[in-house]
Amino acid sequence: MHRYPYITPYVNKVFAEEKERWDFRFLRPALLVSYFLIRLVSFPIKFFLRRKPLGFEGRLIDWCMTFGLKYLARTEAAELFIRHTQIEPILYRYILSRRGQSTMDSLEKLNGIDGDFNLESLAVAKQNNLTIGHDLLSYELVDRFDKHSFLENIEFLRSITPEDHENYSKALLDETRQHSFQLLGPTSLVMLVVLVITLCGDLKTTVTALNSFGSDSILLWCMKRLYVDNPSVLTDLDFFMQEVSNRGHYNSSVFFSNPSQYLYYHVVFDEVVYELLMNEPFKPEENCVV
């Protein structure tokens, strides 16, 4: 099985095992072809007829997403999905932390970087705009991040670690274990989520969701600054330099977006960053071979 040295053992294991499953071999290619064909038809229609939300799009997307988690997703796929929805705001809180700043916990459920990301049930996910709320985190980070403030506090950040995502409730997974037919792995699940957003969302909602990668650029820049004295980590981070999306320009076209980007660049990147911040020293120990 393929193992890649620049991603975490957990993700390596999940992806290596997935490649032996029927959905990866047979369903994934069909979903990929369907997505590109549907997109070519869907976006022109949205441009002329559905430019703004009517109010039901978010709930419809979350209903489809929670249905898939409950009845279709394999447990390891649902776990990766849930981990991501909790790890991403934790990382954003970390890089926005400032010395002497009080904690800005928010009571808003599953929305906002400072929100409450406990996932007690599928009903909670469905009622609180999980899917679109999650995508909006990227735009919030871009709005709130300040380069000079980050650099002034970089030594403070090196003295702390992010929150432990295990402290957040993942009881939602109990429903997956109990009801799911265990059909879809991470790749198929993410592709279905992208497909549902493309089909159900209006133009504004869909473009917002499919362009939510600006925060990855900021997070990567922050990591390279934090680990500037650790060449080994910098080498691993270089493998997350995306070729186009939010690297050479600010908006990637939804007509050329790749659904695999959401999993292999975005989700995996956050897993790698979290693992580094929790376990890797900012400076390698003396006499340590890099």
The predicted-structure confidence for 38-67, as pLDDT tens digits, reads as follows 988 998 999 899 899 888 999 999 999 999
Domain coordinates in residue numbering, the chain: 9-277
Query: What percentage of the chain reaches a pLDDT higher than 90?
Result: 73
Q: Taking residues 96-100, what's their average pLDDT?
A: 91
**pLDDT at position 107, please?**
73
pLDDT in tens, 225-264: 999 999 999 999 999 876 655 454 455 666 666 777 788 8
Q: Taking residues 91-111, what's their average pLDDT?
A: 85
Q: Taking residues 84-99, what's their average pLDDT?
A: 97
**Single-letter residue type at 80:** L
More confident residue, 150 or 260: 150
Cβ neighbour number for residue 108 with a 10 Å cutoff: 13
**pLDDT at position 214, please?**
82
**pLDDT at position 286, please?**
64
1 pLDDT exceeds 50? Answer: no
Decide: 242 and 252 in contact? Cβ < 8 Å. no
**pLDDT at position 155, please?**
97
CA 280, chain centre distance (Å) = 21
**pLDDT at position 135, please?**
93
Decide: 143 and 68 in contact? Cβ < 8 Å. no
**pLDDT at position 210, please?**
83
**pLDDT at position 101, please?**
77
pLDDT in tens, 156-196: 999 999 999 999 999 999 999 999 999 999 999 999 999 99
pLDDT bucket at 287, cuts 50 / 70 / 90: low
- Dihedral (CA of 179, 183, 184, 185) sign: positive
106 pLDDT exceeds 70? Answer: no
Decide: 198 and 35 in contact? Cβ < 8 Å. yes
200 pLDDT exceeds 60? Answer: yes
**pLDDT at position 256, please?**
65
